[in-house]
Amino acid sequence: MFIAGSTRRPPVEEELQHYEIFWHEHFEWLKDRGYLLRPRYRPGWVASWLGSDEWPSEFEDNQFRATMPFLLDAIRIADGKPVMLRRPDPPPSHELEITQQLSSLQPEPRNHCIPIHEILTIPEARKDGRNQVVVMSFQVPWEEPDLDFRTVGEVVDFCSQVFEGLQYIHSLNITHNDVKFNNIMMDWYPLYPDPPHSLRTSQRMDWKGPSKPRNRTLCPVKYHFIDWNLSRQWDPSGAGIPPQLPSGYGGTPTVPEFQEDQLCDPFAVDVYCLGNVIREKFTHGDSILEFPPRRNVEFLEELIADMTQDDPAKRPKMSEVVSRFAEIRKSLSWWKLRSRVSNKRIPLIFHRLYSPFHWLNQFSYIVRRISAIPDYTRNKGYAEP
């Protein structure tokens, strides 16, 4: 509540930001094409909190973010399902070209690229060259605290999917070039009974209450790679000459090649970056990103150490990563797979105190024949909207 006599809220909150104008101007066009934007972008929008004593942030139409010039959620009118709209980078970026190729691929189990529903062409040519809107599957962050990984089996499933996903991308002679934790996402619908809000996943998209996510063991989910604006496809007939890129691209500044400002093999950089995601999220943690190191994931350390070697020539190819991890996966006992991956920064005594409750759940899963390693392909309710 606002205190009587307090300074009036800034009027900027009651107006669209400059980076939101495109969506406001194209509201009706997108509606005609079958996609409904949130109330904030409708013609004649007036802030719903005006005249209220509540904080503006508590209202759905106050939710906005600086990423919105090129990315916004919408509802597909035909079936009420959420989607994401992306305005791809213009040339010299290869984003649109690679997006078009990925959207035309035949079904493939290893394909963990974000599903593309269609590509719309904007009626008027834009000065910025962003003349298309790509309609993609709606995704949510995989590392949300409310959706924390509970077991080794859940970690194994995540690693299996992202390893085979990057292997598949490389098999197309494509390098992602920006493999980082927030360029991996997951489908919302196995875990959430109602779509969560894209900017505040703790709330339902319709703003009618909190979202209530389930766990990954009971509701297996598929993970996807997103964001192709730095990606490149390489000519496979390159006469044996490996592709090279200048250093410093993407969002992982710790790549060893970048420290010496040398030309990079982008395939080897991708391997490092994915290994670094696993290292930051599970084995070592990251204080800046507030990812704690985890217990019971020591089986990952040798493979991740190889993927993140300083010498790019010594890093395994993704095909080798996949085959090595398959062997690691086979070696893990059922007890190990059902063990907790608790936060190492929390004293061990608390880990042990909670363990009986954890194992009560796990034994109930065993009785119900729920697999220790989630498998989204066996989820009968799993069908991409």
Q: Give residue 5's pLDDT.
A: 41
* 3-state SS assignment for residue 48: coil
pLDDT recorded at residue 216: 95
Average pLDDT over the chain, rounded to an integer: 91
Task: Give the percent of the chain with pLDDT over 70.
Answer: 94
CB count within 10 Å of CB 109 equals: 8
* Predicted structure pTM score: 0.92
Query: What's the mean pLDDT in 101-118?
Result: 92
Domains identified in the chain and CATH numbers: 11-137 (no CATH), 140-378 (1.10.510.10)
Does position 23 have pLDDT exceeding 90, yes or no? yes
* Overall average pLDDT of the 262-280 stretch: 96
d(CA 228, CA 115): 13
Residue-wise pLDDT for 51-99, tens only, equals 888 899 999 999 998 878 899 999 999 999 999 999 999 999 999 999 9
Confidence of residue 325 (pLDDT cuts 50, 70, 90): very high
Q: For residues 15 and 45, what is the distance between their CA atoms, to the nearest angstrom?
A: 9
With beta carbons less than 8 A apart as the criterion, state whether 243 and 194 touch: no
Half-sphere exposure of 284 (CA within 13 A, CB side): 15
101 confidence band (pLDDT: 50, 70, 90)? very high
Q: Which of 64, 86, 87, 70 is nearest to 17 (CA)?
A: 64
